[in-house]
Structure 1
Amino acid sequence: MIQRVSACPDRLRIALLVLNESHWSRCILDGIARFALAHGRWDIWMYPRGIGTPSSLPPDWSGQGVISRISNEPLRQSIDQHRLPTVNVSWHGVHSRRFPKVITDPHGGGRLAGEFFVNRGFTNVAYIGPPICYSYQDEVLPEVFKTAENAGCRTFQFVPDPSAPQPDYDYQRRRLVQWVRSLPKPVGIVAWNTVVAREIILTCQAEEINVPNDVAILAVEDDPLVSKLSPIPISYIEQRVENVGFEAARELQRIISGGEPRSEPVLIEPEGIVEKASTNTVFATDAVVREAVRFIQLNKDVAITVTDLTRHLDVSRRSLEERFRKVLKRSPAEEIRLARVNVLKAILQQTNCTLAEISVRSGFSCENSMLRFFKRMTGITPGEFRRHHPQDLLESAD
């Protein structure tokens, strides 16, 4: 029987058995900390731990609940013997009422990645998953391939050498080189995380393969530091990982207060693609569309119109619309809007500029115009976007 109390005591002692070394895990911990500060009245018990460090809940530990990345059987057993309310924040294992899950949605992430390359006009989509030592049942891969194949794309998967002595992709270098060489170009590659994506970029550079026009690379899991250490900044899926921590903490508090564990996991839907240089391609099968996309990227912080495009390209609007629909499955106006909203997201994440300053920098006539555009494109306000996205500040407003 799981120990519960009918009402929360003044302070709750909560154990956090979550990795500390990765950006993903620290984002989860940030979300937990945000909930605890605002709602929880929690006393946190934790200790530094990396992926190679065995973890367990000490037999003599006492408290009211646990949030854990339950990735192996010994850890599960050490928690189970305490019979405390527990929330699992790992993709490992299965959801159960004993260990209910709060996780990012792997299927949603896979679909989003597949749709990204399909919408870019790629007909070849490849996937490279986690190192073998992670022991994941990869739920991202099927959705990437299903989405791509339903759109008529060919799909390709990297199969690592199971006899390699280490998970580091340096040990897979020869196989990785052969795989990248064998892929038909241009190709969009979905990589498990930025560590894996960086290895592909290094491989492409060594083989003199152009990134992103021949090989475009999108990471499922982001690590900003690894991206900075990459020769080319890496695009990634915005998974809203901090929300995993916040909602896991909220769910644990609910169960401690007497609520029943849910029969289905709480899934945090991905928000979208954060595009960096690794996918910022002007690739298109039509030269006119390719030049149009290049022109849009060069002028993405200016209020250009489809008329500006037709004048630059010396083509009719109808012809340009038809070419875009055929190649990219969207209109020139949609391409312009996507480029402009990505500029706004980048400024919001990378600066402390005020909204008025952002509207000027991004070519809007006024702050209200920028606010309406951002809300229409994303469903949230710039302020909400900034609050839910840890800033990677490169500059500050003077």
Structure 2
Amino acid sequence: MTEDKFSITLLFNANKVFDRKVLEGIGMYLQTTGVNWDLYLEEDFRGRLEQIYAWQGDGIIADFDDPEIRRALENSSRPVVGVGGSHSNQADYPKVPYVATDNFELVNAAYTHLRQKGFSQFAFYGVPDPLGVIWPKERELAMKELVNREGYKCDFYNGRITQPASWQSAMDELGRWLLRLPKPVGIVAVTDARARHLLQACELVGLMVPDQVSIVGIDDDEVVRNLHKISLTSVKQGCVDIGYKAASILHKMLNKGKRYEEIHLIKPLGVVERASTDYKAVDDPYVIQALHFVRQNACKGIKVEQVADFVGVSRSNLEKRFTFERGHSLHNEIHQVKLNRACELLKTTSLELNDVAMQSGYPSLQYLYAIFKKHFSETPKQYRSNYS
């Protein structure tokens, strides 16, 4: 028996990484179940309400984090499934089936990651209250609950909404806030985009990441994480699962002709650790400076002598201090940073192997092959194939 064909509209803004991944999950549901849906989505992937009241379709999946979309659809006569963020107040949930990212667990994952790194001083970088949008405040409330529960102090700062005309002054203000924080400090940013501001502001005022300031974002946005030379640790949301679940609920509503009020919270997939939280407690100021210089410059082909020159002590003195604090040599630290960079490029990009070698600080492709054979017993090409 052939299933009825339904016309479905998707109201999302795919300029947002959350919305893009939710759409991916909806598409996955269509592919795996073979449902017969005719999808309507604006050509520029932005949800618009202008024609929705005259639309004659059968069902809607929409981003209810957009307050205008929520107001327009919450009382719709057609089947609607909303997606968005979770709420600490049950009364804030819409009166339609709703699939939400669990804001508390997103922040808890970031906070727990920093706690496990040994931090006892925390900060939270949010956004100014955007009109009608609840999820940033929910994440701020989650951070407050977590630190209060364990008796820690946390400094909260929302800064400005950044615009071209105010960008420099916003960065200056952010830098001054960062300088006032106790060090070392672990900071949870409300999104990856805000985390990137932190990375830039730290560089502006001379704070070392991750040795003085460690940063965790939320979204694991593959675009944002590559916009700074220090790669960003981030919490990966279950957005694909959200889209898949939303599509399955709408499918059930269309087939059974019933209305539901149900809430599904989707937990994060975990923390993807990168350089912005590669923190180990170090007391020696010379070693802290050396670590910062190595992380910034290892892939430029630096040698131990250049690190010692930067720090301003003899090579033998620095090597002794470094081995005492880190348990391995400075040369090994340089090597590990380069190897980690090569692994990351192989896993997350399609760069030619020659370019991977060059960007990782290796003198030749042959040298890169020798390193991978020694450490992984496989070639860089084989290593990449394991992650494709």
Quickly name the TM-score band, shorter chain normalised: 0.5 to 0.7
Call closer, same or farther: CA 1:112–1:60 in 2, change over 3 Å: same
Give ranges in structure 1 of 5+ residues lacking alignment: 1-6, 291-311, 315-319, 321-341, 353-359, 367-393
Residue identity in the other structure for 2:19? S
Deviates more, 1:99-108 or 1:146-155: 146-155
Aligned residues between the structures: 313
Residue identity in the other structure for 1:37? Q
CA displacement at 1:229 relative to structure 2:
1.3
CA displacement at 1:13 relative to structure 2:
1.0
Q: Secondary structure at the match of 2:246?
A: helix
Assess if the C-alpha contact under 8 Å between 2:214 and 2:276 holds in 1: yes
CA displacement at 1:120 relative to structure 2:
1.1
Residue identity in the other structure for 1:109? L
Q: Which residue of 2 aligns with 1:44?
A: 39
| Separation (CA, whole Å) in 1 of partners of 2:86 and 2:165 | 18
1:83-162 matched pairs, under 5 angstroms: 83-91=77-85, 94-96=92-94, 98-133=95-130, 135-137=133-135, 138-161=137-160
CA displacement at 1:248 relative to structure 2:
0.9
CA displacement at 1:142 relative to structure 2:
2.4
CA displacement at 1:155 relative to structure 2:
0.6
1:7-26 matched pairs, under 5 angstroms: 9-26=3-20
CA displacement at 1:153 relative to structure 2:
2.6
Root-mean-square deviation over aligned CA pairs: 4.2
- Percent identity, please: 25
| Separation (CA, whole Å) in 2 of partners of 1:224 and 1:168 | 26
Q: Which residue of 1 aligns with 2:334?
A: none
| Separation (CA, whole Å) in 2 of partners of 1:176 and 1:107 | 25
CA displacement at 1:281 relative to structure 2:
1.6
Q: Secondary structure at the match of 2:97?
A: coil
Assess if the C-alpha contact under 8 Å between 1:202 and 1:231 holds in 2: no
| Separation (CA, whole Å) in 1 of partners of 2:166 and 2:23 | 26
Assess if the C-alpha contact under 8 Å between 2:128 and 2:160 holds in 1: no
Q: Which residue of 1 aligns with 2:366?
A: none
Assess if the C-alpha contact under 8 Å between 2:172 and 2:201 holds in 1: no
Assess if the C-alpha contact under 8 Å between 2:99 and 2:246 holds in 1: yes
What TM-score results when the alignment is normalised by the length of structure 2? 0.68
Q: Which residue of 2 aligns with 1:276?
A: 274
Q: Which residue of 1 aligns with 2:252?
A: 254
Deviates more, 1:209-218 or 1:104-113: 104-113
Match of 2:241 among 231, 240, 243: 243
Q: Which residue of 1 aligns with 2:358?
A: none
CA displacement at 1:89 relative to structure 2:
1.0
Residue identity in the other structure for 1:120? K
1:303-318 matched pairs, under 5 angstroms: none
Call closer, same or farther: CA 1:266–1:225 in 2, change over 3 Å: same
CA displacement at 1:42 relative to structure 2:
1.4
Q: Secondary structure at the match of 2:196?
A: helix
Assess if the C-alpha contact under 8 Å between 2:65 and 2:134 holds in 1: no
CA displacement at 1:269 relative to structure 2:
0.8
Q: Which residue of 1 aligns with 2:209?
A: 211
Call closer, same or farther: CA 1:14–1:348 in 2, change over 3 Å: farther
Call closer, same or farther: CA 1:192–1:167 in 2, change over 3 Å: farther
Residue identity in the other structure for 2:115? V
CA displacement at 1:348 relative to structure 2:
9.8
Call closer, same or farther: CA 1:77–1:106 in 2, change over 3 Å: closer
What TM-score results when the alignment is normalised by the length of structure 1? 0.66
Call closer, same or farther: CA 1:263–1:184 in 2, change over 3 Å: same
Residue identity in the other structure for 1:104? T
